[in-house]
């Protein structure tokens, strides 16, 4: 596929409430430094801005971000504002709250009463009067607990007009049920990719039955998280992915993205990068179609 014909539209579309997005989106986490949340050498500002603008040129209209995506000298939200404002009408920006970081980078988890401040900080940094989608990012320690208080607080901010649609992140099926009893949920953002645990496959299928978008994070890296898709070469999973990549003449990361997108029409992808070439490869993966045999081989 040539550089000029790459388009995120090749992956198809899905609706987040009343907002239509191309299923191949962009995650902003890697824009701020050489590794997520690091305090070392920041990425070149002009390069990060160029990546964002190229993403939109390629048809990406779903950008995932958060106020806590920052390093010592870079903020993902402010880079998005600088690169893309005034925002295209079709651009959907999704953010997330509950985790927070102070200026030193130290983490904390917000109380329900503090969520409004986090929403307002996202609004300020992005230069918007409302947020398209806000995901409640559940702490690992709360995966088995109630999210009703926090999600209820976000529902109140939605009713107040600060948020258009709500999502939940890093959740169980039971927590999805709890949230749906409070307010509509347009997306579930959970770790997912080749080799995902059975409960994540089950949750993905349930979201499809409910018409809710399933938005994997770490779809390329999987359990290796920020380390990237190159790790694990030589194991059975890695060998299978490499074999499929060779057959198509594409990268391992592209195969992982294509596999993820073919798990259902409601599955979105938000791969992140700070490099234009990698961005173009990620977007091109939206047009890659794996055979039934290849899908079975990869699990």
The tokens for 205 are 């299928």
Q: How far apart are CA 14 and CA 21, in angstroms?
A: 6
Query: Which of 15, 16, 48 minimizes the C-alpha distance to 29?
Result: 48
The catalytic site residues sit at 69
* Residues contacting 206, CB < 8 A, separation 6+: 173, 176
Helical residues (DSSP H) of the chain, grouped into ranges: 45-57, 76-84, 115-126, 148-159, 173-180, 198-210, 236-248, 252-261, 276-284, 292-298
CA 184 to chain centre: 19
Start-to-end CA distance of the chain, whole Å, equals 27
CA quadruple 25, 257, 23, 218: dihedral sign: negative
Helices (H) and strands (E) in the chain, counts: 10, 11
* Residues contacting 175, CB < 8 A, separation 6+: 138, 143, 146, 147, 168
Beta strands 13-16 and 19-22, pairing class: antiparallel
Instruction: Compute how many other C-beta atoms are within 10 angstroms of the C-beta atom of residue 83.
Output: 20
The conformation of residue 39, written as its DSSP 8-state character, comes to S
Q: How far apart are CA 39 and CA 44, in angstroms?
A: 14
């Amino acid at each position: 596929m040539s550089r000029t014909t790459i388009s995120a539209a090749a992956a198809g579309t899905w609706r987040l409430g009343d907002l239509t997005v191309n299923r191949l989106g962009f995650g902003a986490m890697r824009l701020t430094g050489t590794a997520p949340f690091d305090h070392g050498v920041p990425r070149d500002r002009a390069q990060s801005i160029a990546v964002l603008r190229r993403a939109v040129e390629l048809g990406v209209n779903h950008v995932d971000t958060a106020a806590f995506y920052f390093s010592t000298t870079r903020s993902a939200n402010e880079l998005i504002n600088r690169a893309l404002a005034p925002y295209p009408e079709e651009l959907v920006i999704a953010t997330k709250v509950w985790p927070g970081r102070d200026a030193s980078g130290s983490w904390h988890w917000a109380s329900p009463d503090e969520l409004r401040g986090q929403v307002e900080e996202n609004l300020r940094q992005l230069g918007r009067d409302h947020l398209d989608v806000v995901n409640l990012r559940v702490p690992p320690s709360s995966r088995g607990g109630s999210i009703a208080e926090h999600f209820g607080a976000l529902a109140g901010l939605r009713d107040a007009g600060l948020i258009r649609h709500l999502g939940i992140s890093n959740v169980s099926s039971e927590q999805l049920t709890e949230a749906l009893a409070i307010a509509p949920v347009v997306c579930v953002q959970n770790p997912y990719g080749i080799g995902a645990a059975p409960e994540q496959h089950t949750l993905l299928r349930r979201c499809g039955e409910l018409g809710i978008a399933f938005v994997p994070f770490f779809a390329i890296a999987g359990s290796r998280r920020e380390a990237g898709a190159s790790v694990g070469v030589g194991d059975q999973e890695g060998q299978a992915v490499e074999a499929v990549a060779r057959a198509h003449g594409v990268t391992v990361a592209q195969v992982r993205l294509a596999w993820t997108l073919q798990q259902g029409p409601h599955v979105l992808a938000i791969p992140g990068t700070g490099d234009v070439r990698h961005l173009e490869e990620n977007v091109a993966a939206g047009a890659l179609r794996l055979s039934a045999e290849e899908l079975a081989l990869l699990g």
